Chain A
Amino acid sequence: MATVTMPQLGESVTEGTIVQWLKQPGEAVHIDDPLCEIETEKVTAELPSEYEGTMGEILVPQGDVAEVGAPLCEVVEAGATAGASHRAEPEREPEPEPAAAGLWRGGPMAIPPDEEDAPPATAPGRSGPALKANRPAAPVALSPAAPANGRNPEDRSRFYSPAVMRLAAEHGIELAAMAGTGIGGRVTRKDVEARIAAGPAPAAAVPPARRETAPAPQPAGMPVAARASSPAAGQGGRYEVTPLSATRRTIAENLRRSNLEAPQAWTMVEVDVTGLVRVRERERARFEREEGVPLTLLPYFTAAVCETLREFPMLNARWEGDELRRYHSLDIGLAVAAESGLVVPVIHDAGDLNIAGLARRIADLAERAHTRRLRVEDIEGGTFTVNNTGAFGSIASKPIVNPPQVGIVTMERAVKRAVVRDDDSIAVRWMMNVCLSFDHRALDGLEAGGFLAALKGRLEALA
């Protein structure tokens, strides 16, 4: 029996309110399953389970406030920890063949539970709130990487040994996309070597988002892919062969497929964003103070794209297999030029977010894209893509549709221009080009043009 306590959800937070219990006594509980929702003055977070088993007694009813460290509920563990099972069945538990007498009692490569993890019943006095409060903040939904990091002896799918990290770095393997055969799903050296030996871009390395579509015919002419990874000098040192990372290969394959399969048309509109620039300048200081993330034009642009997509749902679609599927949710991919290569994290349900929500989500995804901490679900299921090419200083670009999506829109750099206005006056205005590429199989210029015109209207209306 394990007791779940109130985690420290941020510094100086001393208590939290149980907003809702998500598990009821008797329900099965898996590692990382949210047990309840906790609201504090700073955040609202789901409390993921550190245990596998069955939900036990709820000690703090819904709506009540509990101090940090206070017991919230109990979980009856399934494959109870070594300590617990020994306690329960001291005689029956067969001592595993002692690999070496005098050491290693914890089973296969057990991470010794630290004292805080010991079953509370053995030392009731020790599990009190005072002690518990000292432990590092329990993993909460806000930091998804934390729970796997050694605290949970079963799941090692995100634990990478030095050998694995070195090999992955040398060969550009994306470990997060790999399934491991080691203990607790750990990716082993041999897994990585097998992956390297298997050659470029097998299924495991392709982000799952791409996997949903019909498998692409294996490219006959991709000479780059066959190359091994070590840089080799060619023709007496006149050039060097650049090793291809898995990311690079995936990008190459997707873009090649896009150009090969999707007949793409391109169109562009000029947008007067003077009003938008002013809005942003006006809001910026307050926003950044209150929200803690930079305010750029991108969230405004994304919000406008979302509203316009509602109007033109045929662009919020994916060409999957032989079907054109229009999606109800607006899951907007955001092209991020990370150092490790282009990656398109997805703002799920972007249509439900306001400017602040979008700004936060964009900042979070971009940060994690750059630090290679995106999770699989972060790159899955985009229905339309926004590309902030203006970030490079570009004023016009021709994006390539990100298959199986059917449309991609760019936000070019806003620049000051002398503009002839409707009344024939000439004024200095902030102008921005917006470019759209679309899969002509899925839609025609009529819809595309309508979409761009509507988007332009929305952006220009902002003031």
Chain B
Amino acid sequence: MAAMTVIEAVRSTLDEALAGDDRVFLMGEDVEAGGVFRATEGLAGKYPGRILDTPLAESSIIGLSIGAAHYGMRPVAEIQFADFIHAGFDQLCSEASRWSYRTRGDAWLPMVVRTPWGGGVHGGQHHSQSIEAYYGHMPGIKVVAPAFPADFRSLLRAAIADPNPVLFLEHKRIYRLVKQDVEGAPAETVIGRARVTRRGDDLTIFAYGLMLHESLAAADDLAASGIECTVVDLLTLNPLDRETILEAAKATGKVLIVHEDTLTGGLGGEIAAIIAEHAFEYLDAPIRRVAGPDIPPMPFHHAMESFFVPDRAKIAAAARELAAY
């Protein structure tokens, strides 16, 4: 198979899921026409009646998914932009997350909510948000954020097969930026596992989504000047893979956590806490975070957006300081 983009990975996996399981159906805004990022392009013709357009009402989309999943369907909902998912926050966090708990395990919600997230595409205030911290905080919802096409494929499959609600985050900047020959590529097939994508002895970088690619690029730059990084692709943000996180942190004792989400209350704090709590004696430097600044929206203007979003240069600068520490 030739190299495919992230969007192709998503589309082909949806296609296969629809073909393989009659209970699977898609719904969302404009998904019949293919969706704004063309993730569902061509599927409506192929699977008539199973690709459903919805009103612009995220609460309803998620609420419908809950109902359908409860009755044995495998809904895969698309929220057009992650920025708008919060209208369905109550459905996800107050209902979906605790369905199994409320029924003492009698009922399950095998539902997936897919949504493009993140910035760096000049999306401005309402099309650039990182939302993982809100939902990653919520027990009962799995949150997945892959970075490579092969992982998009395997983890989307795993999400659809999962009996629990899964929030499947697709960073919109890498939809067409990242290509990978998915045949034989390393792919994580289990939700809840992180992967060490690169091994180096000087420091460990934790990242996910677009930032994973920026971190790998930074690691290349750093290797040129003799600084070798371990880079961990977190892949699943809830539940976090503590075992891999601790192993990778202990390996170098110097930890850099990267996310484009704003700093305060971001996932980096939780990862830092896990490491401080369980790997204290292995730390050789203060844990560092490179994150978006604590500013409500990602700005639209190119220069301001660049200021906001961490990139390979900012990551490399922080890594150099950490390596020198």
Please give the residue numbers on chain A whose beta carbons come within 8 Å of chain B beta carbons, in ascending order. 96-104, 108-109, 161-166, 182-183, 186, 188-190
A/B interface sample: 23 pairs, CB < 8 A = A98-B314, A99-B315, A99-B321, A100-B289, A100-B318, A102-B291, A102-B292, A103-B289, A104-B288, A108-B324, A108-B325, A109-B322, A161-B283, A161-B284, A162-B282, A162-B284, A163-B281, A163-B282, A165-B281, A182-B325, A188-B325, A189-B252, A190-B201
Q: How far is the CB of A164 from chain B (nearest CB, A)?
A: 6
Instruction: Decide yes or no whether B308 CB sits under 8 A from chain A.
Output: yes
Closest to A187 in B: B284
Q: Are B293 and A101 in contact (CB under 8 A)?
A: yes
Instruction: Decide yes or no whether B286 CB sits under 8 A from chain A.
Output: yes
B281 cross-chain contacts in A, Cβ below 8 A: 162-163, 165-166
Q: Are A109 and B286 in contact (CB under 8 A)?
A: yes
B252 cross-chain contacts in A, Cβ below 8 A: 189
Q: How far is the CB of B68 from chain A (nearest CB, A)?
A: 42
Known A-B contacts A100-B263, A190-B201; the reply to A161 vs B313 at CB < 8 A is no
Q: Are B313 and A97 in contact (CB under 8 A)?
A: yes
A186 cross-chain contacts in B, Cβ below 8 A: 325
**In the bound complex, how far is the Cα of B318 from the Cα of A148, in angstroms?**
25
**In the bound complex, how far is the Cα of B286 from the Cα of A148, in angstroms?**
18
Q: Are B280 and A97 in contact (CB under 8 A)?
A: no
Please give the residue numbers on chain B whose beta carbons come within 8 Å of chain A beta carbons, in ascending order. 201-202, 252-254, 263, 280-286, 288-295, 307-308, 310, 313-315, 317-318, 321-322, 324-325
Known A-B contacts A99-B318, A109-B285; the reply to A183 vs B263 at CB < 8 A is no
Q: Are B324 and A183 in contact (CB under 8 A)?
A: yes
Q: How far is the CB of A160 from chain B (nearest CB, A)?
A: 10
Closest to B310 in A: A100
Closest to B322 in A: A109
Q: Are B321 and A109 in contact (CB under 8 A)?
A: yes
Main secondary structure on B side of the interface with A: mixed
Closest to B282 in A: A163
Closest to A191 in B: B284
B315 cross-chain contacts in A, Cβ below 8 A: 99
**In the bound complex, how far is the Cα of B202 from the Cα of A102, in angstroms?**
25
Q: How far is the CB of B200 from chain A (nearest CB, A)?
A: 12
Q: How far is the CB of B199 from chain A (nearest CB, A)?
A: 15
Q: Are B314 and A161 in contact (CB under 8 A)?
A: no
Q: How far is the CB of A109 from chain B (nearest CB, A)?
A: 5
**In the bound complex, how far is the Cα of B286 from the Cα of A187, in angstroms?**
14
Q: Are B325 and A97 in contact (CB under 8 A)?
A: no
B294 cross-chain contacts in A, Cβ below 8 A: 102
Known A-B contacts A101-B307, A109-B286, A189-B284; the reply to A182 vs B324 at CB < 8 A is yes
- Given A99-B318, A165-B281, A190-B201, 10 more A-B residue pairs with CB atoms under 8 Å apart are A97-B313, A99-B290, A99-B314, A99-B315, A100-B291, A101-B314, A102-B294, A104-B288, A163-B253, A188-B284
A182 cross-chain contacts in B, Cβ below 8 A: 324-325
Closest to B290 in A: A100
B308 cross-chain contacts in A, Cβ below 8 A: 101
Checking B263, B283, B321, B324 against A103 with a beta-carbon cut-off of 8 angstroms, the contacting residue is: B263
Q: How far is the CB of A72 from chain B (nearest CB, A)?
A: 34
Q: Are B317 and A189 in contact (CB under 8 A)?
A: no
B307 cross-chain contacts in A, Cβ below 8 A: 101
B282 cross-chain contacts in A, Cβ below 8 A: 162-163, 166
10 smallest CB-CB distances across A and B, nearest first, come from A102-B293, A99-B318, A163-B284, A100-B290, A189-B284, A163-B253, A101-B293, A97-B317, A166-B281, A108-B321
A109 cross-chain contacts in B, Cβ below 8 A: 285-286, 321-322, 325
Q: Are A99 and B317 in contact (CB under 8 A)?
A: yes
B317 cross-chain contacts in A, Cβ below 8 A: 96-99
B202 cross-chain contacts in A, Cβ below 8 A: 190
Q: How far is the CB of A186 from chain B (nearest CB, A)?
A: 7
Q: Are B310 and A161 in contact (CB under 8 A)?
A: no
A161 cross-chain contacts in B, Cβ below 8 A: 253, 283-285
A103 cross-chain contacts in B, Cβ below 8 A: 263, 289, 291, 293
Known A-B contacts A97-B313, A162-B282, A163-B281; the reply to A102 vs B324 at CB < 8 A is no
Q: Are B263 and A189 in contact (CB under 8 A)?
A: no
A183 cross-chain contacts in B, Cβ below 8 A: 324-325
A162 cross-chain contacts in B, Cβ below 8 A: 280-284
Closest to B283 in A: A162
Q: How far is the CB of B258 from chain A (nearest CB, A)?
A: 9
**In the bound complex, how far is the Cα of B285 from the Cα of A101, in angstroms?**
20
Q: How far is the CB of A189 from chain B (nearest CB, A)?
A: 4
B283 cross-chain contacts in A, Cβ below 8 A: 161-163
**In the bound complex, how far is the Cα of B263 from the Cα of A182, in angstroms?**
27
Q: How far is the CB of B130 from chain A (nearest CB, A)?
A: 14
A190 cross-chain contacts in B, Cβ below 8 A: 201-202
B280 cross-chain contacts in A, Cβ below 8 A: 162
Checking A100, A164, A165, A189 against B314 with a beta-carbon cut-off of 8 angstroms, the contacting residue is: A100
Q: Are B253 and A97 in contact (CB under 8 A)?
A: no
A97 cross-chain contacts in B, Cβ below 8 A: 313-314, 317
**In the bound complex, how far is the Cα of B322 from the Cα of A100, in angstroms?**
13
Q: Are B318 and A104 in contact (CB under 8 A)?
A: yes
Closest to B318 in A: A99
Q: How far is the CB of A162 from chain B (nearest CB, A)?
A: 5
**In the bound complex, how far is the Cα of B283 from the Cα of A186, in angstroms?**
14
**In the bound complex, how far is the Cα of B263 from the Cα of A99, in angstroms?**
13
**In the bound complex, how far is the Cα of B254 from the Cα of A108, in angstroms?**
14
**In the bound complex, how far is the Cα of B310 from the Cα of A101, in angstroms?**
8
Q: How far is the CB of B306 from chain A (nearest CB, A)?
A: 10
B254 cross-chain contacts in A, Cβ below 8 A: 189
A165 cross-chain contacts in B, Cβ below 8 A: 281
**In the bound complex, how far is the Cα of B289 from the Cα of A169, in angstroms?**
29
**In the bound complex, how far is the Cα of B288 from the Cα of A97, in angstroms?**
15
Q: How far is the CB of B268 from chain A (nearest CB, A)?
A: 10
**In the bound complex, how far is the Cα of B313 from the Cα of A100, in angstroms?**
10
**In the bound complex, how far is the Cα of B282 from the Cα of A165, in angstroms?**
9
B286 cross-chain contacts in A, Cβ below 8 A: 109
Q: How far is the CB of A313 from chain B (nearest CB, A)?
A: 50
Q: How far is the CB of B319 from chain A (nearest CB, A)?
A: 8
Closest to A165 in B: B281
Closest to A184 in B: B325
Closest to A193 in B: B201
**In the bound complex, how far is the Cα of B322 from the Cα of A104, in angstroms?**
12
Closest to B291 in A: A100
